[in-house]
Structure 1
């Protein structure tokens, strides 16, 4: 039995943190589903931008959409939605078999709308409707400004992937926003089954402190934060408030581990996958990490719901001069800024590609 299947049997769902047209057209995604127990995927502008820059898989579609008057963000969404619809269709059997619990793909709302709640809510609803696939999450950052948009989107019945969470406190805020939205749906007589995941970024913690802590603490901060967050997640599901929502038919907002590829070349390439094995969670991982775990990963047991040694470990980081709370806020701010930068770079690459293809066509080049 493959290590990926063992994780699946443990109760953790494995998603791919990648989507490109080539991945779909060459059958790789389909193979990952059948061979590596992949049951969903996430995407982001950086991935799309790299694919557009480094290959020609999107050239024909860019040329055609440009001829039809599409440009900039509109052109990108056409490309992204085409890919995500195909991926959603590949995962549709899982979605149907699990009655909507699993089998999801994700699309990000423009990060340029992050400070505009109304615009974010409207865009989330528009994109979900435009996709015409029930198993599409819309990604909204779990920043302080994003919480109102998350609550309103859940109330509107739009499935949300809350992204850019870095701490227990940020996760709890996202969970509260989700539950408020569900509460309001119940009071309004609406179906409380609106899917959501809360994405906690892990390895970026360790990258941020790699040169600031003793060797004994290397690559241990992200996992300690994850353990503490998992404890809060498990505790929330036992509390009266959640039980009341569940009794009304609501489903848990599942905790998703993001940023699980090892960024330290000295670390094991399966470090975060092995350490984050936990029932009723999701691990979305890069292709390289997925293949590595499928080849030589080891299931060392599940995370404990009591947080293990997380508190003691975080105490050691505090003693080493790391302000955990301040760093969580900084990582989220940096992440939000990186999203904006990636988005702008993506649109620039699409514009450059559109121009180069037009010149090539005008000059009688290849089509």
Structure 2
């Protein structure tokens, strides 16, 4: 591994790649990334598969076969995605084995249109896990209110889960409870809970994008009212502060809960926070901002390859930058509230946007595949 990736590992942060395509698999690129860049897992989402399946020729042969079988676009998407994920799981099996199941995971998301349907989410999660049929598959489930029981149900069935689209600490605490309930349910159902793993994917850059825009609006409103107020010093701070508060909640949730301590003694593993959306959206910010400032024990950082390459090239990893940071993070949010930022509205907007973006990507992909199947 390169020095920055080694430093992250020493701080307790596993590096996963936020991307997957058949071209990566067939060309040997993913195997090379694993070997040379220290990547120990992969995450996918509807936007990633939209990009992978809508360009190039890597899927043409399978699309032709599926067309001959009369397979509709929705089934074709999952046929191709599960094949890719299964092959990726095989590439990560050695890492999965060598880390005793801590890393080596590949995530596959349920249909984002099911974000408000608990029963359908559980059913599809089971189907996807059975279809991939690998012990290092994680099923991604959104952290919407309606899907919180689905998280518990899927974990209770002995399936590892990546909980995605988490924006607020309040929702994160609900996710943690859903996880603990799920592990307890799995134990009750006779599953080996030492084999079940989970991560809670907390989105970072989207928080800054939304709050930075609101800070600009607040500054402009103050100027229009003749008030000398400039909130620009708060820009680019909310995403990191939010994640640090989540990490503090993580430390307390798994450190203080008697229920969890009993499960841990039975072999259960903590649900690690995973930092997602870690590429900066503002070019004025350092391109490794959401890497170096969010390193610490029991965490995962999933990066697009540009962010991964920037990290390898010039990131200055200074060890654990999470532990003991909660008080400073709270001060950031106190200042945001004083600036008039409606944080409850921010979290609601971000979750709705997150679901909508994935649904849009999914529906665009289905439309593209429907055309390809018709022509094949």
Structure 1-normalised TM-score?
A: 0.94
Once the two structures are TM-superposed, the CA of residue 132 in structure 1 deviates from its matched residue by: 1.2
Identify the residue that residue 170 of structure 2 maps to in structure 1: 169
- Structure 2 residue 291 is matched with structure 1 residue 292: no
Identify the residue that residue 343 of structure 2 maps to in structure 1: 324
Identify the residue that residue 105 of structure 2 maps to in structure 1: 104
Q: Aligned with 1:237: secondary structure?
A: helix
Identify the residue that residue 290 of structure 2 maps to in structure 1: 272
Identify the residue that residue 215 of structure 1 maps to in structure 2: 232
Contact preservation (8 Å) 1:160, 1:196: yes
CA–CA distance in structure 1, aligned partners of residues 214 and 346 of structure 2: 12
- Structure 2 residue 120 is matched with structure 1 residue 119: yes
CA–CA distance in structure 1, aligned partners of residues 279 and 44 of structure 2: 15
Once the two structures are TM-superposed, the CA of residue 20 in structure 1 deviates from its matched residue by: 0.7
CA–CA distance in structure 1, aligned partners of residues 11 and 367 of structure 2: 43
For residues 204-262 of structure 1, give each alpha carbon's deviation from its aligned partner in whole angstroms, at most 9, with x where no partner exists.
Answer: 01111223222211211111100100001111121123212101211111111100000
For residues 92-134 of structure 1, give each alpha carbon's deviation from its aligned partner in whole angstroms, at most 9, with x where no partner exists.
Answer: 0011112222100011111222222221111111110110111
Identify the residue that residue 372 of structure 2 maps to in structure 1: 353
CA–CA distance in structure 1, aligned partners of residues 158 and 358 of structure 2: 25
Identify the residue that residue 361 of structure 2 maps to in structure 1: 342
CA–CA distance in structure 1, aligned partners of residues 62 and 207 of structure 2: 38
Q: 4+ residue runs of structure 1 moved beyond 4 angstroms?
A: none
Q: Aligned with 1:269: secondary structure?
A: coil
Identify the residue that residue 302 of structure 1 maps to in structure 2: 320
Contact preservation (8 Å) 1:11, 1:278: yes
- Structure 2 residue 205 is matched with structure 1 residue 203: yes
Identify the residue that residue 232 of structure 1 maps to in structure 2: 249
Once the two structures are TM-superposed, the CA of residue 189 in structure 1 deviates from its matched residue by: 4.1
Q: What runs of 5+ residues in structure 2 fail to find an aligned partner?
A: 216-230
Q: Aligned with 2:47: secondary structure?
A: helix
- Map residues 59-138 of structure 1 onto 2, 5 A cutoff: 59-138=60-139
Contact preservation (8 Å) 2:14, 2:299: yes
For residues 325-355 of structure 1, give each alpha carbon's deviation from its aligned partner in whole angstroms, at most 9, with x where no partner exists.
Answer: 2211221121112221111111011112223
- Number of matched residues? 357
Contact preservation (8 Å) 2:292, 2:321: no
Once the two structures are TM-superposed, the CA of residue 308 in structure 1 deviates from its matched residue by: 4.5
For residues 283-310 of structure 1, give each alpha carbon's deviation from its aligned partner in whole angstroms, at most 9, with x where no partner exists.
Answer: 0011110111111111023123332510
Q: Aligned with 1:336: secondary structure?
A: helix
Q: What runs of 5+ residues in structure 1 fail to find an aligned partner?
A: 359-367
CA–CA distance in structure 2, aligned partners of residues 85 and 187 of structure 1: 29
Q: Aligned with 1:56: secondary structure?
A: coil
CA–CA distance in structure 2, aligned partners of residues 300 and 142 of structure 1: 31
Structure 2-normalised TM-score?
A: 0.92
Q: Aligned with 1:207: secondary structure?
A: helix
- Map residues 12-31 of structure 1 onto 2, 5 A cutoff: 12-31=13-32
CA–CA distance in structure 1, aligned partners of residues 13 and 289 of structure 2: 16
For residues 109-166 of structure 1, give each alpha carbon's deviation from its aligned partner in whole angstroms, at most 9, with x where no partner exists.
Answer: 1122222222111111111011011111111101100001111111111111110101
Once the two structures are TM-superposed, the CA of residue 319 in structure 1 deviates from its matched residue by: 1.3
CA–CA distance in structure 1, aligned partners of residues 58 and 327 of structure 2: 46
